[in-house]
Amino acid sequence: MTASGKIVGIDIGSRSIKMVVLEDGQVAEKVLTPTTFYPLEEIHRLLDDKKPDHIVATGHGRDLCRHRPDCPQAEIVSTVMANVQGGSHLEPRTRRILDIGALETLVISLTPRGDVYNYELSTLCAAGTGKYLEFMASSLQMPLEELGDFALQADKRLQMESQCTVFAEREAMFLVANGEKPQNIAMALHRSIVERTVDVLRRVGGSSPLLLVGGLAHNRCIKKLLEEQLHEEILVPDDPEYVGALGAALQCEVLQN
């Protein structure tokens, strides 16, 4: 059975809220907004004129959707299942999914049939997440969106010794003070994240191809370093930041059966 009417999938993350609207099974709208300190207000604003027949929420703040009384009771789906549903829909060949989020790294391995075989949600340290790059971009006084391309201009590969975000900032500023090129420091920061990510990928296991989703999938340096480390091509869908929200909306069909 196909869920009828207007379906809203909403992915409420720590840094941003992503929404995908499906009408007759087709994507009618995509919206992204900062989560801010008032995520419930942002959710209200996004949904105000939508009048959905179904809402399916995922992400850290997924339960917040249930605080909106003038809409149908929101369904809830895990971040794992939302990424599997969205990722497999966009790229049926995928056998692993990687989402380096603002506060956590999610790795999922799939069977040839597309079922979840294994997964790990790593939340132990910010130095392996997007927040690390965001923090360091601020220290280098540049937008996060530009940091990856900036790092690709490096002419030397440094090794960051610090295993903590705070100490890494201190180490980066020490390198700047000693005349090291900011591009080389930016590359070292990316390498640090990728090394931690590869450790998680190896623990989870699985086969190729790997699908990179989430906002950091736009970072060309992350993709390049992963391909070097894993010796394989990394797949990146169009609009990778919306994969979870799309998967939540698509999951409505499963929930209605």
Neighbours of 194 (CB within 10 A): 23
Please tell me the predicted confidence (pLDDT) of residue 173: 72
- The token duo for 238 is 């169009």
Domains of the chain: 6-81+242-256 (3.30.420.40), 92-236 (3.30.420.40)
Compute the distance between CA of residue 47 and CA of residue 49 in angstroms, rounded to an integer: 6
Length of the chain in terms of residues written: 257
Indicate the residue type of 45.
R
Please tell me the predicted confidence (pLDDT) of residue 22: 93
Please tell me the predicted confidence (pLDDT) of residue 53: 86
User: Could you give the 3-state DSSP secondary structure of residue 230?
Assistant: helix
Please tell me the predicted confidence (pLDDT) of residue 62: 87
Indicate the residue type of 107.
V
Indicate the residue type of 56.
V
Please tell me the predicted confidence (pLDDT) of residue 71: 56
Q: What is the mean pLDDT of each run of 10 residues along the chain (257 residues)?
A: 76 92 91 90 86 89 73 82 95 94 88 93 62 76 89 86 60 71 88 89 93 93 95 94 96 70
**CA dist list (Å): 121 to 78, 128, 153:** 12, 12, 31
